[in-house]
């Protein structure tokens, strides 16, 4: 794991355990604006672009991903920062004429997004 992501992750996890409560409204807004077009409002991979890429957008509420998130709480944050699938996401957006303006992610944004998505994913137990 790179130094940058390690530092960011520890900041996000520290922010989570601090007295400030994560802002689910902000997390939800970020998710709906930037992720739902593929991942779907239900995080089950049901967005309009879900099947426009190869691989398709996965259902993140399935036990496999829940286990992954449990073991590696940084997986959501790292998927935003590290772009582990390379060009796949920008390419899919471009090919389908969807523009998502760039965003200057703050630590709180990453914390809120992580918190919001986790709450939806684990609610479906
Ligand atoms: C253009 C469609 C698209 C958008 C927009 C998108 N994703 Fe994804 N996402 C995917 C696809 C496709 C995969 C599977 C990639 C793969 O397997 O290589 C994926 C995988 C993931 C994973 C699983 C990673 C893992 O290692 O298991 C997470 C978490 C994730 N996305 C979070 C997000 C978040 C958070 C956003 C918004 C900030 C977002 N995605 C926006 C298409 C998208």
Give the pLDDT band of residue 6 (cuts 50, 70, 90): confident
Q: Which residues contact 92 (CB under 8 A, 6 or more apart)?
A: 38, 49, 52, 53
The pLDDT of residue 114 is above 80 = yes
Q: Is the pLDDT of residue 5 over 80?
A: no
Q: Give the pLDDT confidence score for residue 20 in this predicted structure.
A: 59
Q: Whose CA is nearest to atom 14 of ligand 1?
A: 57
Token pair 């998505």 is found at 117
Of residues 19 and 22, more confidently modeled = 22
Mean of pLDDT values over 91-117: 96
**Are 72 and 118 spatial neighbours (Cβ–Cβ below 8 Å)?**
no
- 58 Cα–ligand 1 center, Å: 8
Q: Residue 19 above 60 pLDDT?
A: no
Residues touching ligand 1 (Cβ under 6 Å) are: 34-35, 37-39, 49, 53, 55, 57-58, 60, 65, 68, 75-76, 79-80, 84-85, 88-89, 92-93, 113
Give the integer Cα–Cα distance in Å for 49 and 116.
Answer: 21
Q: Residue 1 class from Cβ within 10 Å (0-12 exposed, 13-18 middle, 19+ buried)?
A: exposed
Nearest CA to ligand 1 atom 42: 57
The pLDDT of residue 77:
96
């Amino acid at each position: 794991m790179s130094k940058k992501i390690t530092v960011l992750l520890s900041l996000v996890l520290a922010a989570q355990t601090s007295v400030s409560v994560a802002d689910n409204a902000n997390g939800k807004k970020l998710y709906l604006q930037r992720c739902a077009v593929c991942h779907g409002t239900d995080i089950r991979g049901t967005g309009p672009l879900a099947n426009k890429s190869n691989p398709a957008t996965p259902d993140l509420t399935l036990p496999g991903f829940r286990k992954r998130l449990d073991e590696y709480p940084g997986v959501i944050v790292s998927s935003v920062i590290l772009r582990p699938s390379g060009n796949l996401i920008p390419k899919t957006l471009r090919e389908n004429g969807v523009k998502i303006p760039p965003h200057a992610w703050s630590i709180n944004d990453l914390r809120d997004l992580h918190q919001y998505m986790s709450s939806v994913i684990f609610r479906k137990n």
